[in-house]
Chains A and B, each alone.
Chain A
Amino acid sequence: MLRARLTLVTGEPVSDEQLMLSYRDGNAAAFDELYGRHRGGVFRYVLRQVGLRSAAEEVFQEIWTNIISSRARYRVEARFATFLYHVAHNCVIDHFRRKTPLHLISLDDDPEEAHQVAGPDRDQPERAVALRQSAAKLLNALALLPPEQREVFLLHEEGGLTLEEIAAVTGTGRETAKSRLRYALARLREGIEHEADVA
């Protein structure tokens, strides 16, 4: 995932870790920059897993509240993205624990809700028209993935994490993360091709 880098006068990009350290030391502008870099990826990571937009917003706010609260204790022990998505992972798990039984997406669910998950933003119907057909199919296929495979794909795609970082966030081994990612990619590709064949 390409991510714009804040550039100082000297031309050197400021890393996420430096921004977080700067925010820890009292620079609120550093947080604005950091938040701007990760807000979309984290939100989509949450939305694809919890399903409902309202629930995703709630979890999203909880994630950033935790990041803000941990400001004073922050130390650079890993990439900031790893730290951020580790917090996000825990918040999603907490959400599912609070919301038991899990809100599983199936064909019997409310089509409006399913549309929220798999499709484009319903508040912007004009944009849905513009989206390519294959993207919508892929999102549908993503929604049908097992949760573990879906999470690994989202961490890789939205967070830009390596297999080692994904393993650290999810609490598994590197090979497990790799296996899950491979299965997820295979099933997503199959989903796209199957839809294309049907079409």
Chain B
Amino acid sequence: MKPTLPEDRELEDTAAQVSERYRAGAQDEPPAKLDAAIRAAANREVAEPRPGRNWKMPASIAAMLVIGVSIVLLVRDREPPLPSLDHPAAEEAKLAKPAPSQLAMKALPRAKADFYREDRPSRERTARPDREPVARDEVPATRANEMAGASVQSAAPSPASAAPATAASESPVEREKFAMSESGKVVAGTKAAASADAAIASRGAVQALRKQEQAAAVPLQPDDWLRKIDHLLRDGKEADARDQLLDFHRQFPQYPVPERMKPLLTSDR
């Protein structure tokens, strides 16, 4: 220590005086065996470096690899994002949005719409001319809009495909026309349908509805329909079978129902 300031030099002088006496009595040293142990440890360190000292880097790389591979696998196996359940009404509003062809049909003048309606070949119309207005007036507007929503899934059927005149086989265009019928409940029906759709809170319910309406859009022959009802009964789905049979009986009132199914027509829900 080389003092530069006067006070530092004074301090150093004092330290020198004390140091002389201190050194005279400060002879303590570590024992020889401790010296030997420390020197041996130093030699061992040089001769054989401890294994596993640099474990941090390999461990870090391994951890990063594991995490990276896991993320890649997760992303790869991930399904496409589900529709948001937070806004089911908006989701269903999209589905209920009519196709462009239907919009064009809406824009048609009333007379032209009636023309299409009258030209539709329908066994039902010919078979029960007096039933049609009453039955259609009884159908609630929500039901009409549900049918319109189903039409998004299937294109407007050709007149030939609508040959069997059943409610299930009515083309979406006709359903829309029906929704615009003389009752003048189009706007109210649309709002009611939106609220009803908003009540469907899960994607599974929406898909089930789509399937049901798609199935309904496909025209079934009476025998096929009855066979389907029979399958439902065999599977124990009596409620579904009863609904289907009631629909069947409404569409084909003259068609003979098998005896084993008749109890369903009279049974209470």
**Interface set of A (CB-CB < 8 Å, partner B):** 23, 26-28, 31-32, 35, 39-40, 43-44, 47, 57, 60-61, 64-65, 68-69, 71-72, 120-121, 127, 131-132, 134-136, 138-139, 142, 156-158, 160, 162-163, 178, 181-182, 185-186, 188-189, 192
Q: Nearest-CB distance from B51 to chain A (Å)?
A: 14
CB distance B24 to A28 under 8 Å? no
Pairs A-B, 3 closest by C-beta atoms: A135-B25, A135-B24, A31-B42
CB distance A192 to B21 under 8 Å? yes
Cα separation A163 to B9 with both chains bound (whole Å): 13
Give the residues in chain B near A158, CB-CB below 8 Å. Answer: 26
Q: List 27 A-B contacts (CB under 8 A).
A: A27-B46, A28-B42, A28-B46, A31-B43, A31-B46, A35-B35, A35-B38, A40-B29, A57-B30, A60-B30, A61-B37, A64-B41, A64-B42, A65-B41, A72-B49, A121-B27, A131-B24, A132-B21, A135-B24, A136-B25, A138-B18, A139-B26, A157-B26, A178-B8, A185-B11, A188-B18, A188-B22
CB distance B15 to A181 under 8 Å? yes
Cα separation A177 to B107 with both chains bound (whole Å): 96
Contact of B41 among A40, A68, A157, A192 (CB under 8 A): A68
With known contacts A47-B28, A157-B19, A182–B38 Cβ distance under 8 A:
no
With known contacts A61-B34, A136-B25, A185-B11, A35–B18 Cβ distance under 8 A:
no
CB distance A23 to B42 under 8 Å? yes
Which B residues between 38 and 53 are near A, CB-CB below 8 angstroms? 38-39, 41-43, 45-47, 49, 53
Contact of A64 among B11, B26, B31, B38 (CB under 8 A): B38
Q: Taking CB as reference atom, which chain A residue is nearest B50?
A: A69
Give the residues in chain B near A120, CB-CB below 8 Å. Answer: 25, 27-28
Q: Taking CB as reference atom, which chain A residue is nearest B54?
A: A72
Sample of 14 more A-B contacts, CB < 8 Å, known A134-B24, A181-B11: A28-B46, A35-B38, A43-B30, A60-B30, A61-B37, A65-B41, A71-B45, A138-B25, A139-B22, A139-B26, A157-B19, A181-B15, A182-B14, A189-B18
Q: Nearest-CB distance from B197 to chain A (Å)?
A: 69
Contact of A60 among B17, B27, B34 (CB under 8 A): B34
Count of B interface residues, CB-CB < 8 Å: 32
Cα separation A47 to B27 with both chains bound (whole Å): 11
Q: Nearest-CB distance from A2 to chain B (Å)?
A: 10
Give the residues in chain B near A189, CB-CB below 8 Å. Answer: 14, 17-18
Q: Nearest-CB distance from B46 to chain A (Å)?
A: 5
Q: Taking CB as reference atom, which chain A residue is nearest B26?
A: A44
Give the residues in chain A near B27, CB-CB below 8 Å. Answer: 120-121, 127, 131
Contact of A185 among B14, B39, B43 (CB under 8 A): B14
CB distance B24 to A132 under 8 Å? yes
Asked whether B1 is an interface residue with its Cβ less than 8 Å from the other chain, the reply is: yes
CB distance B29 to A39 under 8 Å? yes
CB distance A28 to B43 under 8 Å? yes
- Chain A CB within 10 Å, residue with most, of B21, B24, B31, B53: B21
